[in-house]
Chains A and B, each alone.
Chain A
Amino acid sequence: MLTRRGALFAAAVAALAWCGTSASERSSLRGQETDTERAIEHYRQMLKDDPWSNPGLLDVDRGETLWATPRGPKNVSLEACDLGKGPGKVEGAFAELPRYFADADQVMDLETRLLWCMEKLQGFNRADIIKRPHPGGGQPVKELGAIATWIAHQANGARFAAPSAHPKEKEAVALGQALFERRSGPFDFACTTCHAEPGKRIRLQGLPHLASPEEARKVIGEWPAYRVSSTHVMTMQHRLYDCYWQMRMPELEFGSEASVALIAYLVNKADGGEITAPAIKR
């Protein structure tokens, strides 16, 4: 696995170095830009070509074990957890989330629902779990995240079809859109600062135009994803937390209504998009 990853890194470095050394030989800047993007795409393709090179699959296995293991103060497994398709029904459940759950009287994404089940079924303390819900660089995804990765993987090949009949589901999408476009903080950023147009980049990192169903369908189903730069699986809740970090906002609370609403909005835009989690990201 390490050798494989080393090779991928070498390929990435070579691809980027190739852009650097040949830049001066190029006659036009337009050409340089196209070559840079082509090299990055080549790197991404190499990552995709061999699915077993994906270290995120280790967390899929870990999540499967954790789901079935009796844990928490009540020492029970999560097998009675209802992800929307009935207690213990995991396959394809991720494709229909976020959704409204009558027992909690709120809309929940996968991770927020798992948090709810860990609290209600296993007796875990919610405050303890959300205090540090995400791994630091180089640390593996937390237990809840590993379980989420397994559940998302169990929906691979399915297409997003989150329900939208309940008024609270409609409201979550609308709230998510308002938050997506809402600017604040010392940098005056909103999600739309980076994700409102197609074909844009930060440095060399391509930015999906997430209000566009075509682009949202390509990327939303990739999360949770294995992130090469931080060497761990990053869940969607973590992805949003990291966006707000970059936006110079405070720490986004795990499972907050705002976080669920943003995910509801993104999944709504990605409706019909295929789930391919965990994908490999830069």
Chain B
Amino acid sequence: MKPILVAVGLSALFATSTLSADRLTVDPARAEAAIKAAFRAAPPDWQSRLIPDDTLSECSGTDNSPSAAQFEAIRKREAAKVAYPDDGKLLGDWKKGERLAQSGYGMRFTDYPPRNPNGGNCYACHQLTRHEVSYGTIGPSLLGYGKARGTTPEAVKEVYEKIYNPHATFACSLMPRFGTNKVLTVEQTKDLVALLMDPASPVNE
């Protein structure tokens, strides 16, 4: 009932809103069966890609707007999935980080067998430096990110966690869980932390 009330409320607030209280819903099992059938030719080791975990199911089911209680539960669950380097060092090489931020390579069905390391493709969604004008706007601009926050251990740890698993900070973030989902390695994540936080990085010029 609550989501419907929220939808009606929003529709009243914004005349252009497309939310509709009389929206038809489908049985979740129906959607899962349709996905399974649509990707039935996928190799066995790809089948896991079809199955959302609890966090994704909750995010999809709430259009990425979880309730306050869900938000905290997701945050806690995902924070437990962050792994840190053994030596505790979280800052890598910003130059390698910049290359990762530019690369969208990896994990598409035409990327096998892998010819390059996976990229982070940060520029697809974020502005990072003044030198790269081809950047996306799905995520916030990260220009001057480290300069604004300083390089305290807390600030560095926070960035590492945001890249490794953004839901640990902000439940139902649109950003991939690069570390938890094994898209990027711990070393690669450190290089991206350096790109954002190192005072010598073009991000902080």
Contact residues of A with B, CB < 8 Å?
Answer: 19-20, 23-24, 29, 32-33, 36, 170-171, 173-175, 177-179, 181-190, 192-194, 196-197, 199-205, 207, 211-214, 245-246, 248-253, 256-259, 261, 269
Contacts and interface: CB of A to CB of B under 8 A. Distances in A.
B42 interface: yes
Contacts of A29: 127, 141, 143
B83 interface: no
Contacts of A20: 133
7 contacts: A24-B130, A181-B63, A183-B60, A186-B107, A186-B176, A187-B183, A203-B123
B125 interface: yes
Given A184-B51, A203-B134, A193 B37 contact: no
A183 B59 contact: yes
A178 B38 contact: no
A183 B35 CA distance: 11
Contact of B23 (A23, A174, A249, A253): A174
A87 to B, nearest CB: 29
Interface of B: 16, 18, 23-26, 28, 30-31, 34-35, 37-43, 46, 49-52, 56, 59-60, 63-64, 107-110, 123-125, 127, 130, 133-138, 141, 143, 174-177, 181-183
B39 A250 contact: yes
Contacts of A171: 24, 26
A32 B26 CA distance: 44
A208 to B, nearest CB: 13
Nearest to A21: B133
Contacts of B134: 203-204
A203 B97 CA distance: 18
B60 A181 contact: yes
B52 A186 contact: no
Contact of B24 (A170, A194, A201): A170
Nearest to A255: B38
Given A188-B56, A203-B134, A250-B109, 8 more contacts: A170-B24, A175-B26, A175-B31, A184-B56, A196-B63, A203-B124, A203-B135, A253-B37
A184 B49 contact: yes
Given A182-B60, A256-B38, A246 B108 contact: yes
A252 B52 CA distance: 17
Contact of A184 (B50, B63, B108, B124): B50
B51 A251 contact: no
A162 to B, nearest CB: 15
A268 to B, nearest CB: 11
B138 A194 contact: yes
Contact of B34 (A173, A179, A211): A179
B38 A188 contact: no
A200 B136 contact: yes
A193 B177 CA distance: 13
Contact of B30 (A175, A185, A211): A175
A204 B124 CA distance: 8
Nearest to B125: A202
Nearest to B43: A250
A215 B136 CA distance: 19
B23 A177 contact: yes
Contacts of A207: 138
B38 A259 contact: yes
A282 B64 CA distance: 30
Given A183-B59, A200-B136, A257-B34, A251 B125 contact: no
Contact of A258 (B37, B109, B176, B181): B37
Given A179-B31, A186-B49, A245 B138 contact: no
Contacts of A23: 130, 133
Contacts of B174: 193
A200 B35 CA distance: 27
10 residue pairs, one from A and one from B, having the closest CB atoms:
A250-B42, A258-B38, A174-B24, A256-B38, A187-B176, A184-B52, A183-B56, A258-B34, A250-B39, A178-B31
A252 B38 CA distance: 6
A170 to B, nearest CB: 6
A253 B39 contact: yes
Given A199-B137, A203-B136, A174 B41 contact: no
